[in-house]
């Protein structure tokens, strides 16, 4: 059986983007692959969460994974920091990673640029691409080496496939680079080159409710699995719309298309068709569309929400899931780490 691995940073509740883009598919493939799903708590440290929140954030993702249907009998669910082998491999991989290539990573460059814009109180566009002035900003080395830690996550289980969104493609490519470089340097096939996993239907981009772009944690435009009916309805009713079509069969502006994209994910095809016809003959009423959309989102998320609290508060169950997951993950991780150490020349006295 081939191995699939994916992680999510513990930085708050899961939203519909996480659910439709990833989690729902994780559940669908749990019988067909040897799956590892983990909570990337070490990665969450790049943004310095308050110690009081750190553990609760991990627990939140764990409870939401389980509530959405991931079955610990079928897949390995674990917490990144419970597997110290990952941190050791991270040290080893740092030795074959180059500062220049890490500095060229898009996510890193974007974060640095954002930090500079904030520190100088200017717009993002006002920071030149080739600006090298680091004064007044503190970019952690952990942010620079984020892709190395992510490569360690992936390579330590010799994952064949990693389901990733567009924004993580470059990081996955870097894991491939490091696997190849290590194998070439030490002359052994220690690591497997991971490939992107495609769930068949093509990549779904789940849009936000603010008219443009995707749903994201940091964008503040999301609907969360943990939102209650009232919150969901309020958010959907407030979603950006235009003043309505004036000519039959006109192209949709992005904000309206986004509502239809969401609808296609949660509603019956006949419902989507109904509102498309109303759009095309200019009789559409956005209030009706939104009411329907909110109701259909609730149909998907409320049963999950109902399970989240019970799981979140079940200490014994969570302890069991996490400790069994840790044991399975450590068995796999220590086997790979031993191969890497041997290839590099480590020897036990
Ligand atoms: N960087 C990923 C994200 O922000 C999270 C992540 C960490 C990950 N390690 C991983 C994803 C390993 C896949 C595989 O979404």
Which tens digits make up the pLDDT trace of 238-278?
A: 999 999 999 999 999 999 999 999 999 999 999 999 999 99
Burial of 165 (0-12, 13-18, 19+ CB in 10 A): middle
Q: Whose CA is nearest to atom 14 of ligand 1?
A: 6
217 noted as active-site residue: yes
| Count of all residues that appear for the chain in the document | 349
Residue with tokens 């659910």: 19
154 in contact with ligand 1, CB cutoff 6 A: yes
111 in contact with ligand 1, CB cutoff 6 A: no
Q: Whose CA is nearest to atom 11 of ligand 1?
A: 7
pTM: 0.92
Q: What distance in angstroms lies between residue 103's CA and the mean position of ligand 1's atoms?
A: 18
Round to whole Å and give the CA distance between 111 and 101: 16
214 noted as active-site residue: yes
23 in contact with ligand 1, CB cutoff 6 A: no
The pLDDT score that the predictor gives to residue 203 is: 64
Q: Which of 74, 99, 109, 111 is catalytic?
A: 111
| Average pLDDT of the chain, as a whole number | 94
pLDDT tens-digit readout, 70-129: 999 999 999 999 999 999 999 999 999 999 999 999 999 999 999 999 999 999 999 998
Round to whole Å and give the CA distance between 147 and 261: 31
Is 90 exceeded by the pLDDT of residue 21? Answer: no
pLDDT tens-digit readout, 307-341: 999 999 999 999 999 999 999 999 999 999 999 99
291 noted as active-site residue: no
The pLDDT score that the predictor gives to residue 130 is: 85
Round to whole Å and give the CA distance between 178 and 183: 8
Q: Which of 116, 214, 235, 290 is catalytic?
A: 214
Q: Whose CA is nearest to atom 6 of ligand 1?
A: 7
Contacts with 125 (C-beta within 8 Å, 6 or more apart), sequence order = none
Of ligand 1's listed atoms, the one at least distance from the Cα of 171 is 1
The pLDDT score that the predictor gives to residue 202 is: 59
9 in contact with ligand 1, CB cutoff 6 A: yes
Q: Whose CA is nearest to atom 5 of ligand 1?
A: 8
Handedness of CA 327, 333, 335, 338 (dihedral sign): negative
Q: Whose CA is nearest to atom 13 of ligand 1?
A: 6
The pLDDT score that the predictor gives to residue 165 is: 80
Please, are residues 36 and 329 in contact by the beta-carbon 8 Å criterion?
A: yes
11 in contact with ligand 1, CB cutoff 6 A: no
162 in contact with ligand 1, CB cutoff 6 A: yes
225 in contact with ligand 1, CB cutoff 6 A: no
Q: Which of 74, 205, 217, 278 is catalytic?
A: 217
DSSP 160-191: SEE---GGGHHHHHHHHHHHHHHHHHHTS--S
Pairing state between β 195-196 and 34-40: unpaired
- The structure tokens listed for 229 are 């009916």
Per residue in 246-261, is it b (16+ CB within 10 Å) or e — as a string? Answer: eeeeeeeeebbebbbe
More confident residue, 106 or 219: 106
């Amino acid at each position: 059986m081939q191995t699939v691995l994916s992680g999510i940073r513990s930085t708050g509740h899961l939203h519909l983007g996480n659910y439709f883009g990833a989690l729902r598919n994780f559940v669908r493939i749990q019988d067909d692959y040897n799956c590892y799903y983990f909570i990337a708590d070490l990665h969450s440290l790049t943004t310095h969460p308050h110690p009081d929140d750190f553990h609760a954030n991990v627990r939140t993702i764990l409870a939401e994974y389980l509530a959405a249907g991931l079955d610990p009998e079928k897949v390995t669910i674990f917490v990144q920091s419970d597997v110290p082998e990952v941190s050791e491999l991270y040290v080893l991989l740092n030795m074959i990673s180059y500062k220049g290539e890490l500095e060229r990573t898009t996510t890193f460059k974007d974060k640095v640029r954002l930090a500079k814009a904030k520190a100088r109180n200017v717009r993002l566009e006002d920071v030149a691409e080739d600006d090298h002035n680091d004064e007044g900003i503190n970019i952690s080395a952990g942010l620079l080496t984020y892709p190395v830690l992510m490569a360690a996550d992936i390579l330590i289980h010799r994952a064949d496939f990693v389901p990733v969104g567009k924004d993580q493609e470059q990081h996955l490519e870097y894991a491939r680079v490091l696997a190849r470089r290590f194998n070439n340097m030490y002359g052994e096939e220690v690591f497997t080159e991971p490939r992107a996993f495609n769930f068949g239907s093509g990549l779904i981009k789940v849009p936000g409710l603010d008219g443009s772009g995707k749903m994201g944690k940091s964008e503040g435009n999301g609907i969360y699995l943990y939102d209650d009916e009232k919150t969901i309805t309020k958010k959907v009713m407030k979603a950006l719309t235009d003043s309505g079509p004036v000519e039959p069969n006109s192209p949709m502006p992005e904000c309206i298309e986004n509502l239809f994209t969401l609808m296609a994910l949660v509603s019956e095809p006949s419902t989507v068709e109904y509102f498309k016809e109303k759009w095309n003959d200019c009789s559409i009423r956005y209030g009706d569309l939104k009411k329907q959309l909110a109701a259909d989102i609730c149909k998907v998320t409320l049963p999950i929400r109902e399970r989240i609290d019970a799981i979140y508060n079940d200490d014994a169950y969570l302890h069991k899931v996490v400790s069994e997951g840790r044991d399975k993950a450590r068995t796999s991780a220590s086997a790979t780490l031993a191969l890497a150490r041997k290839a590099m020349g480590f020897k036990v006295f």
